[in-house]
Each structure stands twice: as C-alpha cells, then as structure tokens.
Structure 1
Amino acid sequence: MSQIRVRNKSTTKQKVFSIVNAMMVGAILGLAAKLVDNPGMNPIFDNIGGRLGIWVFVAALLSVFSHSPKLAAVKVFAFFGSMLTVNYAYTVLFLHFFPESAIVFWGLCAVVSPVCAYIMWYARGNGLFSHIVSALPITALLSEGFELRHAYLPIHTHYYLIPWLMGIYLIMILVLLLITPKNKMQSAVILPIALILSFIMIYFNVLGRIFGGMNSVL
C-alpha cells in the first residue's frame, strides 16, 4: 500500500501527543453533545450531535491527517472511546439514566472505527483506491443529509431549521472535498463517485436498514 500513500516518520512523543489530543477532543465533544441535549437548547445542536454525520466528519479529519494508518486507527478509537465515556458517564451519574440500546449501538461504532480510520488514512494518497476512500465519508454525509428532510424535531415550529441542518452538512462535505485530496483536481473525481454511491445508499435505504433509526440517539 506504500505506492498509494507513504507513511510519515514520527517520534514517540509526537504519537502520544496526537493520541492525547484526540482523546481531549473526544471528551470535549462528548460532553458538549450531552449538554445540548436539553429542552432549553435550540434543537439544531442536538440534531447535529445525535447523528452520524458530525462524528464521521471529525473521524475522517483525524484519520487523514495522521502520520500513519496505524496511528489513525489508534487516534480515532481513542477519540470515540473518550467521547462515549464522557457522554454516558454524564448520563448515568448526573441524569441517572442508563440508555442500554444507545450504548450498544455507539459502542459497536467505536469498535469498528479503527478499521475505518486505517482505510481512511489512504484517502490522502494517489490512485483510484484513494479516490474511492475519500468519497466514503462524503457519501455518508450526503446520504444522511438528504434524509434530514424527514428529520423529527419535537416542536413543529422548529421544522424551519431543517434547511439549516442541511446547510451544515453541506459545509462539512465541502470541507472534506477541499482538504482531504492532495490536490484540487482530485475533487473532480471524488465528487461524482460520492454522488453515485450516495444515490445507491439513498435508493436502497442503506442507513435505515443498518441503523434502524439508532443514529439519532447519542
């Protein structure tokens, strides 16, 4: 796989620093996701934090900007581990609630995340494989973003926020298109691949079949 992307040399200190940073980011976002799950908060924040999109976005960035695929796998697992630990520790200790099904769902996501991160690291490389890998998180964002038209918002008057939610997904997609490829020309190849894959996912309701609505619960 070295012909696709060459690993960057890094010291032990750099590796530890990057893993600790990933854990800190995960802890902060995990706490933030729980704090915005409050009736007094604007539901747009909870609808972002309670879906796959934002976590796919952050994990993709952590992966592609790692020194090696192995480090990407460790960083992303550390990120999800700290995020979920803080999130559900807060839920159990302060809200006195144990969401078993949600913990199982997101726990499984954390378990498979190192494999996804290892593969995602090659997105910032050369060749068709890199283009396909680069398209995968964009595909997930496009698919889930499209399904937001059916998003459930508790108060009917908040349905006007759906276009804003879609706009946030569009921004995440644009960011990945602009900074993931090694050069801008690759974006012209990645976007059509993502569009085709997302059309297939939407047509066959892949997210709904796999997750069954669980990605709205964090």
Structure 2
Amino acid sequence: MEVYKEWNQIRAVNKSTSKQKVYSIVYAIIIGVVLGLAAKIVDNPNVNPIFDNIGGRLGIWVFVATLLSVFSYSPKLAAVKVFAFFGAMLSVYYLYTIFFLHFLPEREIIFWSICAVGSAVCAYIMWYSRGSGMISNVISVLPITVLLSEGFELRNAYLPIHHHYYLIPWLMGIYLIMIVLLLIILPKNKIQLLVIIPLAIILSLVILHFNIIGRIFGDM
C-alpha cells in the first residue's frame, strides 16, 4: 500500500468508467490488427522498402506502445492495452504467415510472444513517465534511448536486396520525428528536458558500445 501511494504521487490515476476502459482496449486491438496486417504486407520486396525498414525494426513498435501506455487512464489499463495491442498485431502477422505463406516460424513466434508478455510490465511502468519527479524522468528516457540508439545505428544499415541506400537519411529522419514527438509528449515541463536529453544520449552511447539491441533482437 505504501509503495502504491508513493507511485500515485508520481502520477495520479485518472477516473474512468468500465465503458471507457473497454473502448480503449478495443481500440488498441484494432490498431494492433491494422498495423500487424500492414507490417506483413510491406514485408515484400515489391513494396516501397522504406515501409519495410520501418516496420521491420524495433523503434516504431516502441513508439506506438509508449503512446498507448501514457495515454491510458491507469497503469493497469496501460498494461492491458499494450498486451492486447501486441497480441493482436502478432496474431495477425503470424496467422497471415502461416495460412497465406505456408510457413511456421516457431522460434520467432515464441520469442515475440515472450516480448508481448514483457511489454505489459513495461507499459505499466511507462505510464508513469508523464508524471513528476526524477523517477518519471528516468522512465521517460527509456523509449527515447531505444529510438536514439536504433536511429543512429541506421547509418550502418545494410540494404542488399533493394540497394536503396538513399533511404537511410529518410529513415533516420523518421526516427528523429518520433524522438521529438516523445520529447514533446512525455515531459511535463521544459526543465525535465534538461534531465531527459543528456541521460538518453549517455544511455544510447552505452547501448551502441555494447550492441545491446543487436545482441537481443539481432536474429529476430
């Protein structure tokens, strides 16, 4: 109870009706279905490779999950919405793969299913990023760090199939837009930016140095 009170001081839960909660979960599922189908469709060499390279990377999903989390009525609802989103997105993506492409990537399904479960915990914590205090600032740094790290690493992107290396600056630009949007949405005031931006840069350098994202998600 004491822990709950402390976290409630960071950001208070917004009152909502059962109807509002159900609607928000349904919307998350619909978004997941649409984006899951879109991700599968653009995973095709005949489609503009810029969409494939965005949908096939971690950044866009971190960005969407962050928005779903912070614009929830409570941390519990944030966890349910993000899990529902990834559950719907992955279900559509791999059902399409199985029934239309006749391919069963068991290893990938297991890995991303585990990630979907973990995303609920991350969403619960991420909800507090739009709160007050140092804990809120540190939480806000996390998605920005992922986007900054992956976006910067795009300078070494290898596109052997499409040979569209001119797309790299465009991809980096999209990552920059997502980072700027999070910097606008997450901090409650400009002073928080003085903490968030330096921390994100430092953590990004650590992630890049040890290739943490590549080690975890490189084979997926």
Shared fold (TM-score greater than 0.5)?
yes
Match of 1:136 among 138, 142, 158: 142
| Contiguous gaps of at least 5 residues in structure 1 | none
Instruction: Report the Cα offset of residue 110 of structure 1.
Output: 0.3
Instruction: Report the Cα offset of residue 137 of structure 1.
Output: 0.1
TM alignment of 1:142-157, pairs within 5 A = 142-155=148-161, 157=163
Match for residue 15 of structure 1?
Answer: 21
Match for residue 94 of structure 2?
Answer: 88
Match for residue 120 of structure 1?
Answer: 126
TM alignment of 1:163-182, pairs within 5 A = 163-182=169-188
Match for residue 3 of structure 2?
Answer: none
SS at match of 1:96: coil
Instruction: Report the Cα offset of residue 146 of structure 1.
Output: 1.5
Instruction: Report the Cα offset of residue 105 of structure 1.
Output: 2.2
Indicate if the aligned counterparts of 1:178 and 1:187 stay in contact, CA closer than 8 A: no
Alignment TM-score, normalising by the size of structure 2: 0.94
Tell me which moved more, 171-180 or 181-190: 181-190
Answer yes or no: is 1:33 the counterpart of 2:39.
Answer: yes
SS at match of 1:159: coil
Query: Cα RMSD between the aligned structures?
Result: 1.2
TM alignment of 1:197-208, pairs within 5 A = 197-208=203-214
Q: Residues of 2 paired with 1:83 and 1:186: CA distance?
A: 33
| Contiguous gaps of at least 5 residues in structure 2 | 1-6
Match of 1:69 among 63, 70, 75: 75
Structure 2: which amino acid aligns with 1:67?
Y
Structure 2: which amino acid aligns with 1:124?
R
Tell me which moved more, 146-155 or 73-82: 146-155
Match of 2:115 among 99, 109, 119: 109
Alignment TM-score, normalising by the size of structure 1: 0.95
Identity %: 72
Structure 1: which amino acid aligns with 2:117?
V
Indicate if the aligned counterparts of 2:49 and 2:162 stay in contact, CA closer than 8 A: no
Paired positions, count: 214
Answer yes or no: is 1:188 the counterpart of 2:194.
Answer: yes
Instruction: Report the Cα offset of residue 179 of structure 1.
Output: 1.0
SS at match of 1:126: coil
Indicate if the aligned counterparts of 1:57 and 1:172 stay in contact, CA closer than 8 A: yes
Q: Residues of 2 paired with 1:128 and 1:102: CA distance?
A: 36
Answer yes or no: is 1:47 the counterpart of 2:82.
Answer: no
Structure 2: which amino acid aligns with 1:193?
L
Indicate if the aligned counterparts of 1:177 and 1:187 stay in contact, CA closer than 8 A: yes
Indicate if the aligned counterparts of 1:43 and 1:153 stay in contact, CA closer than 8 A: no
Relative contact order, higher structure (CA 8 A, sep 6+) = 1
1:42-67 Cα offsets, whole Å, 9 max, x none, are 11111110111000000000001101
Indicate if the aligned counterparts of 2:137 and 2:195 stay in contact, CA closer than 8 A: yes
